[in-house]
Amino acid sequence: MSNHRTVRASYLVFGQPKIEQAEIEEVLACLRSAWLGTGPKAAEFERRVAAYKGVPYAVGLNSCTAGLHLACVVLGLQPGDEVITTPMTFCATVNAIVHAGAVPVLADVDPRTMNIDPAEVRRRITPRTRALLPVHFAGRPCDMDALMAIAREHGLKVIEDCAHAIETEHRGRKAGTIGDLGVLSFYSTKNIVTGEGGMVLTRDEGLARRVKRAGLHGMSADAWKRFTDDGYKHYDVEEIGFKYNMMDLQAAIGMHQITRVEAYWRRRQEIWQRYLREFADLPLELPAPWSAHERHALHLFTVLVDPARCGASRDDMLMRLHQRNIGTGVHYRSIPNMTVYRQRFGWRPEDFPHSQRIGDQTLSLPISAKLSDDDVSDVIAAVRDAIGR
Ligand SMILES: *Cc1c(COP(=O)(O)O)cnc(C)c1O
């Protein structure tokens, strides 16, 4: 079996973005214009994303992490307020809650969807619960009907972590526009990229204004246009804010990426279908199907490697693929496995058994729109070879 006949010549880096000529030229134009900071390109990118998402307000920021933090801040979370989120996420989701002074509370996931389980959310509600922070994991929509019903019943705010989910929909409603605020990521491995970057979506004009102000030092709205033809205008500082604004240099990339978001999604759908077909006979657990009322953003193609069925652990598989020049990812080891959260919040991995098992067994295969058909064939051959099939 392992005669390594399938090793490709070059290493396939996991999560590489597809960068095209239009954004390369726009970045050059931005450099030549000498206006690098927040300006017309950031505003144009915000308009294009808002139009795509069908939402009136979108505020560009330097990361999704910044957006999650600002979302907690503008919702007025106070010390001791509890925010319920998922253990199956990137640490930034939890950190944003802590940085806002609130207390993160975890609710385990549904083992099939890997999304936060509304029944678990109900079990974690206390008189101090103020908000829910669901993550549309891998791009699969959370059960927003159930989560919004819980939020209404208990008077909770809802922040959607849409880092994987720009294309996601639930019953015809776009992810990030269902709760009070939605936050996108344009980090280099996400569905569309700006290198580093993020954006907050909302239907609430007041919240949008406060995200914008808190994201630029707390300066009055005039600060955004204080150098104009009309001359200089003094600004006021109205709150103690942060430095989270998006540069035109970043938006120069994003404003073209957003025009291809659906084309990239269709390419990932082809790869997704091919993986499902080619791995159907393997002892791997493949992503569960979704229903007609859901739209999956197809951000991560995760397989579960059960050592009892595969004769290899997830880490064995990861190393075997690495030796075959295929880069993979792990999304994610369950949050309570990380030292600082155990120390600070006393969380125990075994209290979130579904996340624990997924975190131990999950492996993300490359699914970037940049992959050629040959790249995908290499991944398929390497997976089959690594598992001895
Ligand atoms: C990538 C990611 C983030 C953070 O995004 P940045 O833009 O890198 O700050 C937050 N949550 C999830 C689920 C992510 O995957």
Residue whose tokens read 């993979």: 328
Q: How confident is the model at residue 234 (pLDDT cuts 50, 70, 90)?
A: confident
For residues 12-39, average pLDDT: 97
For residues 291-308, average pLDDT: 98
d(CA 181, CA 204): 8
Q: How confident is the model at residue 291 (pLDDT cuts 50, 70, 90)?
A: very high
For residues 182-211, average pLDDT: 98
- Model pLDDT for residues 369-389, shown as the tens digit of each residue: 999 999 999 999 999 999 998
**Is any ligand 1 atom within 6 A of the Cβ of residue 184?**
no
**Is any ligand 1 atom within 6 A of the Cβ of residue 63?**
yes
- Which residue has the CA at smallest separation from atom 6 of ligand 1? 64
- Which residue has the CA at smallest separation from atom 1 of ligand 1? 163
* Confidence (pLDDT) at 2: 46
* Confidence (pLDDT) at 163: 98
From the centroid of its chain, how far is CA 197?
11
**Is any ligand 1 atom within 6 A of the Cβ of residue 187?**
yes
Percent of the chain having pLDDT more than 70? 96
Strands (E), 12-85: 57-61, 82-85
Please give the number of the atom of ligand 1 that sits closest to the Cα of 65: 9
CA dihedral (114, 118, 119, 122) positive or negative: positive
Report how far apart, in Å, the C-alpha atoms of 370 and of each of 18, 31, 139, 186 are: 5, 26, 18, 16
Q: Which segment of 79-93, 209-223, 339-353 scores lowest on mean pLDDT?
A: 209-223
Percent of the chain having pLDDT more than 90? 93
Report the separation in Å between the CA atom of 387 and the middle of ligand 1, taken as the mean of its atom positions. Answer: 31
**Is any ligand 1 atom within 6 A of the Cβ of residue 109?**
no
Contact predicate 75/180, CB 8 Å: yes
Q: How confident is the model at residue 263 (pLDDT cuts 50, 70, 90)?
A: very high
SS3 345: helix
**Is any ligand 1 atom within 6 A of the Cβ of residue 115?**
no
What does the buried/exposed string (b/e) look like for 108-141 if buried means 16 or more CB atoms within 10 Å of the residue's CB? bbbeebbbbbbebbeebbeeebbbbbbbbbbbbb
d(CA 135, CA 142): 7
Q: Is the pLDDT of residue 261 over 70?
A: yes
Report the separation in Å between the CA atom of 189 and the middle of ligand 1, taken as the mean of its atom positions. Answer: 10
Report the separation in Å between the CA atom of 59 and the middle of ligand 1, taken as the mean of its atom positions. Answer: 16
* Confidence (pLDDT) at 329: 98
* Confidence (pLDDT) at 1: 44
Report how far apart, in Å, the C-alpha atoms of 368 and of each of 17, 46, 279 are: 7, 24, 18
Which letter does DSSP use for residue 351 in this model? G
Closest CA to 303 of 325, 329, 324: 329
* Confidence (pLDDT) at 222: 63
Q: Is the pLDDT of residue 5 over 80?
A: no
Please give the number of the atom of ligand 1 that sits closest to the Cα of 66: 9
* Confidence (pLDDT) at 233: 78
Closest CA to 358 of 113, 162, 189, 191: 113
The torsion angle over the Cα atoms of residues 132, 291, 368 and 57, rounded to 10 degrees, is -50
What tokens were used for 307?
A: 């050592």
Contact predicate 194/101, CB 8 Å: no
- Model pLDDT for residues 95-132, shown as the tens digit of each residue: 999 999 999 999 999 999 999 999 999 999 999 999 99
From the centroid of its chain, how far is CA 24?
24
Q: Is the pLDDT of residue 40 over 70?
A: yes
Contacts of 25 (CB under 8 A, 6+ apart): none
Contacts of 100 (CB under 8 A, 6+ apart): 69, 72, 73, 77
Please give the number of the atom of ligand 1 that sits closest to the Cα of 190: 1
Supply the mean pLDDT for the chain. Answer: 96
* Confidence (pLDDT) at 360: 98
For residues 28-52, average pLDDT: 96
User: Which residue numbers are catalytic?
Assistant: 190
Which H helix or E strand runs over 206? helix 205-214
Q: Is the pLDDT of residue 4 over 60?
A: no
Q: Is the pLDDT of residue 161 over 90?
A: yes
What tokens were used for 92?
A: 């930034």
* Confidence (pLDDT) at 224: 59
Report the separation in Å between the CA atom of 163 and the middle of ligand 1, taken as the mean of its atom positions. Answer: 5
Q: Is the pLDDT of residue 302 over 70?
A: yes
For residues 265-278, average pLDDT: 98
Pocket test for ligand 1, best of 90, 98, 331 (most atoms within 8 A of CB): 90
Q: Which segment of 6-20, 118-132, 141-155, 247-261 scores lowest on mean pLDDT?
A: 6-20
